[in-house]
A and B are shown apart, each in its own frame.
Chain A
Amino acid sequence: MVALLVGMCPGLDEGLLRSLRAADIRTVEDLVSSDIEDLAQKCSVSYKALFAVRRVLLAQHTAFPVSGADLYEELLSSTAILSTGNPSLDKLLDSGLYTGEITELTGGPGSGKSQVCFGVAVHIAYHLKQSVIYIDTTGGLTAGRLLQMLQTETNNRDEQMEALQRIHTFRLFDVCALLDCLYGLICGRGRGACVGGGSVKALIVDSVSAVIAPLLGGKQNEGMSLMRQVAAALKTMAKDFSVAVLVTNHVTRSGSGEAQPGLGVSWSHVPTTRILLERVESGASGRRSATLIKSSRQACLIKEDFDLQWWSRAEGGRGGGGGGETSGKRKLDETDP
């Protein structure tokens, strides 16, 4: 519903606006859907003038259809696929995170969602040399861990610092702050990283359920509306700025004990691709299994095992121990020179 304002189109001046208001026509929709002859008589203005105003307003506010071919051309030129850095995950995601889409990682506590987010952020910042925006609502963001992952990629301190500077972080703990932050990025009025600049290719929100889930249910009626606002903001970011959006979600247990992604059915339509992470009971401490539960490109329920320590594996012999213990999250004494 767009309000009628002076100067919106030639011919819509103060006098006309006042008489329209008097006839209870406040928005463009009201004007376009009312009978012009009737209105011209009521407001004592010429039929032709009103008709011309209506025509200009219709032209300004209609949506134009786009042909499929044009859409395809645009998609080819604007979509990029960002590898996550882990080949097993890339296989599940059909070679990586697609810009213009929202990908969701879901899993129970300790299943590795934050670790995957760190790994993706580090890979994109270091290998692809693009900026990453990381919104943390869980308090789990540890820059020391990001540095650890970078240290296994390169020994050069300057390169590590440069990669760390490409990761822009926000720490927010309620949904209004999240909406402010997202719209600040979209409208470009936030200081610092602006999404419109073009160098931001990925937005990671860990986790979106931590701020929304407390608002759902019970006697609260704002929850669903705020959830939809967040979904709209994320979709705008993804589609209009060609950004790959990665969000994490918690799980709830259904009646039979099966793990289901949280936030309910209303949220399930928002992400294009969903992956469920689980611990592998018998494996080594870093093993996780990832299952594809929603995808528009691949058959669902494909399962892949992967190692959380992949993002911090050693390249060649950097003193990474033999046997079962690969490099990565080293204990303090081993990194002492």
Chain B
Amino acid sequence: KRAAVSAVRMKRPVSSLSLGSSLKGKLVRAGFQFTTDLQDLNPEHLSAEAGVSQQEALEALQAASSGHGVAPVTALELLQKEEEFRSIVTFCSQLDEALGGGVPVGKVTEICGAPGVGKTQLCLQLAVDVQVPAVFGGLGGQVLFVDTEGGFQVQRLVDLAGAAVRHCSLLAEDEEQRVAMTTFTVETILSNVFLVRCRDYVELLAELHLLADFLSNRPRLRLLVIDSVAFPFLRLHDDLSQRTRLLQGLGLRLIAAATGHNIAVVTTNHMTTRLHSSQAQLAPALGDVWGHAPSIRLLLRWEESRRLASIVKSPGHMDASVQYQITYQGFRDADQSERPPSKRPRSQTDQSASSRKNTGT
């Protein structure tokens, strides 16, 4: 008897299928409680029994027979897939090391900071760095730049692109790299950046709805930058619960795009004051609701006259703070504005180890 009872419970209830609620109600009232009850029926019979239209009956039968989910991926296969994809370097080697190579592909990274600290600069730098050819250790990918604040400046992008091209041509040693340099010029860099300007949250959400199509048409796209995600939502303070829901949905969509299409998603966020036990602290805006969406959070801030970048949230790396600076050439390590930073990590370990001790991390 006990076996019979437990056998009943192994069936999937009809109310858990992804159908309209009125359709599910009609099916349950007609006595079809489990998907196994729906198995051997044809649509005419079902529509007569349950009092639903043929179309709905067909939909219900399809939902009942399909939908057993995807096959699981073992952690080993996941590891192999992760190792296939490189990260996007930031050209600040200390930050790259702290992040384990750079901004990772397949995750949502958030850059927070007060105005003027360099968030848009870092985004522009990443937009150039993602295009570095594979022979130099880059991804050779395209970038979609969604600008909500109007902070995108083409002239600055030209400067950064020029600096990157000069840096790579200095590094080009063998034939393959020299061939790659012919396609890595300022013009091609600019042509691989797709810019979208969104003026409010409705346009931003609409753009992200179209994202799936956009991504399937452009398999070379490896980076999506949203600068900034806070600005359109900061003005929505009359209906906070709607804002919460929109942000949660937005976060889910970005994560799905990042993992499904293997792109790196970078968002920027503002800072706001939070009162915590009668002390005012600076915290990233949009609250804890948005805080769960990005997997990695970088905080850029000023400390006296130095600029520091801290990792405050990451699934795979320890919290760390590194110093950086923004030069004419872009986002770089501190104390190294004269020499172009080498891309070979081993020769960097001594310098970066010593400079890390100096910055007191």
State the CA gap A110–B311 with chains docked (Å): 11
State the CA gap A188–B79 with chains docked (Å): 26
Nearest-neighbor residue (CB-CB) of B352 within chain A: A333
Query: Smallest Cβ distance from B261 to chain A, in angstroms?
Result: 12
Taken residue by residue from 1 to 43, chain B's Cβ proximity to chain A (1 for < 8 Å, 0 otherwise) reads as 1001110011111011010010000001111110001000000
B149 at interface by CB-CB < 8 Å: no
On whether the beta carbons of A251 and B21 are closer than 8 Å, the reply is no
On whether the beta carbons of B288 and A332 are closer than 8 Å, the reply is no
State the CA gap A218–B249 with chains docked (Å): 13
Task: Identify which of A64, A109, A148 gathers the most chain B CB atoms within 10 Å of its CB.
Answer: A109
A146 at interface by CB-CB < 8 Å: yes
* Interface positions of A from 180 to 232, Cβ below 8 Å from B: 180-193, 207, 209-211, 213-214, 216-218, 221-222, 225, 229, 232
A285 at interface by CB-CB < 8 Å: yes
B195 at interface by CB-CB < 8 Å: no
A161 at interface by CB-CB < 8 Å: yes
On whether the beta carbons of A183 and B32 are closer than 8 Å, the reply is no
Query: Smallest Cβ distance from A12 to chain B, in angstroms?
Result: 14
* Interface residues in chain A, defined as those with a beta carbon under 8 Å from any beta carbon in chain B: 1-4, 26-27, 60, 63-64, 108-110, 114-115, 118, 121, 125, 133-134, 137-148, 161, 164-174, 176-177, 179-193, 207, 209-211, 213-214, 216-218, 221-222, 225, 229, 232-233, 236, 240, 250-253, 257, 285-286, 328-329, 331-333, 336
Query: Smallest Cβ distance from B74 to chain A, in angstroms?
Result: 5
B186 at interface by CB-CB < 8 Å: no
Q: Which residues of B contact A211 (CB under 8 A)?
A: 252
Query: Smallest Cβ distance from A110 to chain B, in angstroms?
Result: 4
On whether the beta carbons of B316 and A148 are closer than 8 Å, the reply is yes
- Which of B13, B249, B256, B320 sits near A214, CB closer than 8 Å? B249
- Which of B12, B256, B258, B316 sits near A183, CB closer than 8 Å? B12
On whether the beta carbons of B76 and A173 are closer than 8 Å, the reply is no
12 contacts between A and B (CB under 8 A): A143-B81, A168-B72, A169-B74, A176-B18, A190-B68, A190-B71, A192-B72, A211-B252, A232-B13, A286-B318, A329-B317, A332-B97
Q: A164-B75, A333-B353 are in contact. Are A222 and B248 (CB under 8 A)?
A: no
On whether the beta carbons of A139 and B292 are closer than 8 Å, the reply is no
Q: A1-B28, A110-B312 are in contact. Are A331 and B98 (CB under 8 A)?
A: yes
State the CA gap A245–B248 with chains docked (Å): 24
Q: A109-B291, A214-B248, A217-B245 are in contact. Are A184 and B75 (CB under 8 A)?
A: no
Q: A168-B74, A183-B12 are in contact. Are A110 and B248 (CB under 8 A)?
A: no
Nearest-neighbor residue (CB-CB) of A250 within chain B: B292
12 additional A-B residue pairs with CB within 8 Å, beyond A109-B292, A183-B12: A2-B33, A4-B31, A63-B5, A140-B315, A141-B78, A143-B76, A164-B75, A165-B75, A171-B259, A188-B10, A240-B10, A336-B346
